[in-house]
Chain A
Amino acid sequence: MYILLTVFLALVSANSGLNLVYLITSALLSFMVISGILGKANLTGIDVEIETSAELYAGSRFPLRIRVLNRRRRLPGFMFRVHVEEMSKFLPYVGTRSESSAYIDFIFDRRGMRRVDEIYLCSAFPFNFFVRCRRIKKPFDFLVFPEPKNCEVFARIEELVKRSGESPSGKPGFYPEMISIRDYAHGDPLKYINWKATAKTDRLKTKELSSAFFNPVIISFDDVQINNHEEKLSCLAFAVLRLYRSGVPFGFIIRDKLYPPQASNSHKKAVLTELALYGAHED
Chain B
Amino acid sequence: MKTDFKVEQIVKLISYLTGLTGFVSVSRHVSYSYSLLFLSLLILSLVFEKKNIFFFPRWLLNAIASAFILMTVLNTTYANLIEKVIEMLLFLLAVKFLEDKKSRDHLQIYAIAVFLLLGSALLSVDLLFLAYFLTLIFLCSLAVIFLAYLSEEPSLRMEREVCAKVVSKALLIPVFAIPLTMVFFILLPRPFSPLLKVPVPGQKGVTGFSEGVKLGEVSEIQEDDSTVFRVNMREVPSSLLYWRGIVFDYFDGRGWSMSNKSVLEKMGRHPVSGEEIEQTVFLEPYNHKYLFALDIPISVNNTRTSRVFTSPLPRGIQKRIRYEAVSVFSERIAAGGINEDIYLQLYDGISSAITDLAKRITAGRSGRAKIDSILEYFAKEKFRYSMEGLPVSSSPLEDFLFRLRYGNCEYFASSTAVMLRAAGIPARVVGGFKGAEYNEMGAYYLVQQRNAHLWVEAYVKGEGWVRVDPTPSTRELFIEEGRRDIFFRMKQAFDVANYFWNGFVIDYDLRRQFSIFLRIGEGIKKPAFNLDLSIEKEKAGHYFIVFMLIVLLAAGFVMLLTRRMPQEMKIIGKFHKKMKRYGYERMPNEGLEEFVSRIGDEDLRSRAEAFAADFGMLYYKDQKFTRVHARRLSEKIKEIKPGKAKLS
Residues of chain A at the chain B interface (Cβ within 8 Å):
1-2, 5, 9-10, 12-31, 33-34, 38, 73-76, 78-79, 81, 90, 92-93, 95-96, 124-128
Residues of A within 8 A of B173 (CB): 31, 34, 38, 126
Inter-chain contact A30/B181, CB cutoff 8 Å: yes
Distance between Cα atoms of A20 and B131 in the complex (Å): 13
Residues of A within 8 A of B118 (CB): 9, 12, 20-21, 24
* Closest Cβ neighbor of A30 among chain B residues: B180
Inter-chain contact A81/B107, CB cutoff 8 Å: no
How close is A31's CB to chain B, nearest CB, in angstroms? 5
Interface string of B97-125 (1 = CB under 8 A from A): 00000000001000100100110011001
Distance between Cα atoms of A24 and B165 in the complex (Å): 27
Residues of A within 8 A of B195 (CB): 15
Inter-chain contact A22/B188, CB cutoff 8 Å: yes
B341 CB-CB contact with A under 8 Å = no
Task: Among A2, A25, A27, A125, point to the contact of B177 (Cβ < 8 A).
Answer: A27
Q: List 23 A-B contacts (CB under 8 A).
A: A13-B188, A14-B191, A16-B197, A17-B190, A17-B194, A18-B122, A19-B508, A20-B118, A20-B121, A20-B133, A21-B122, A22-B185, A23-B121, A23-B181, A26-B183, A26-B185, A33-B180, A78-B166, A92-B152, A92-B153, A92-B162, A96-B564, A126-B148
Distance between Cα atoms of A127 and B196 in the complex (Å): 32
Tell me how many residues of B have a C-beta within 8 Å of chain A. 54
How close is B573's CB to chain A, nearest CB, in angstroms? 15
* Closest Cβ neighbor of B115 among chain A residues: A5
Instruction: Known A15-B196, A24-B118, A31-B177; judge A124-B137 contact (CB<8 A).
Output: no
Residues of A within 8 A of B564 (CB): 73-74, 96
Inter-chain contact B148/A20, CB cutoff 8 Å: no
B198 CB-CB contact with A under 8 Å = yes
Task: Among A27, A73, A125, point to the contact of B181 (Cβ < 8 A).
Answer: A27
Inter-chain contact B191/A92, CB cutoff 8 Å: no
Residues of A within 8 A of B185 (CB): 19, 22-23, 26
* Closest Cβ neighbor of A37 among chain B residues: B176
Inter-chain contact B114/A16, CB cutoff 8 Å: no
Beyond A9-B118, A10-B188, 7 additional pairs, beta carbon < 8 A: A24-B114, A30-B184, A34-B177, A74-B564, A79-B148, A90-B153, A92-B149
Residues of A within 8 A of B191 (CB): 14-15, 17
| Residue from the set B114, B165, B180, B195 with the largest chain A CB neighbour count within 10 Å | B180
* Segment at the interface with A among B139-147, B343-351, B582-590: B139-147
B182 CB-CB contact with A under 8 Å = yes
Distance between Cα atoms of A126 and B173 in the complex (Å): 9
Inter-chain contact B188/A12, CB cutoff 8 Å: no
Inter-chain contact B166/A127, CB cutoff 8 Å: no
B interface secondary structure, majority = helix
A interface secondary structure, majority = helix
Residues of B within 8 A of A17 (CB): 190-191, 193-194, 509
| Residue from the set B166, B176, B185, B191 with the largest chain A CB neighbour count within 10 Å | B185
| Residue from the set B144, B165, B177, B561 with the largest chain A CB neighbour count within 10 Å | B177
* Closest Cβ neighbor of B137 among chain A residues: A27
B228 CB-CB contact with A under 8 Å = no
Inter-chain contact A127/B148, CB cutoff 8 Å: yes
Distance between Cα atoms of A5 and B144 in the complex (Å): 15
* Closest Cβ neighbor of B163 among chain A residues: A93
Residues of B within 8 A of A14 (CB): 188-189, 191
Task: Among A16, A19, A26, A126, point to the contact of B170 (Cβ < 8 A).
Answer: A126
How close is B432's CB to chain A, nearest CB, in angstroms? 29
Inter-chain contact B152/A124, CB cutoff 8 Å: yes
* Closest Cβ neighbor of A26 among chain B residues: B184
Inter-chain contact A93/B121, CB cutoff 8 Å: no
Task: Among A5, A15, A20, point to the contact of B129 (Cβ < 8 A).
Answer: A20
B303 CB-CB contact with A under 8 Å = no
B506 CB-CB contact with A under 8 Å = yes
Inter-chain contact A16/B194, CB cutoff 8 Å: yes
* Closest Cβ neighbor of A25 among chain B residues: B188
Interface string of B426-451 (1 = CB under 8 A from A): 00000000000000000000000000
* Shortest 7 CB-CB contacts between residues of A and residues of B: A20-B121, A26-B184, A128-B148, A30-B180, A17-B194, A15-B196, A26-B185
Residues of A within 8 A of B144 (CB): 126-128
Distance between Cα atoms of A273 and B619 in the complex (Å): 41
Residues of B within 8 A of A13 (CB): 188
Interface string of B14-31 (1 = CB under 8 A from A): 000000000000000000
Residues of B within 8 A of A73 (CB): 564
How close is A225's CB to chain B, nearest CB, in angstroms? 52
How close is A131's CB to chain B, nearest CB, in angstroms? 10
How close is A168's CB to chain B, nearest CB, in angstroms? 43
Interface residues of B in 489-548 (CB under 8 A from A): 505-509
Residues of A within 8 A of B149 (CB): 79, 92
Inter-chain contact A21/B194, CB cutoff 8 Å: no
Residues of A within 8 A of B37 (CB): none
Instruction: Known A16-B196, A92-B158, A126-B144; judge A26-B181 contact (CB<8 A).
Output: yes
Instruction: Known A16-B196, A21-B118, A22-B185; judge A34-B107 contact (CB<8 A).
Output: no
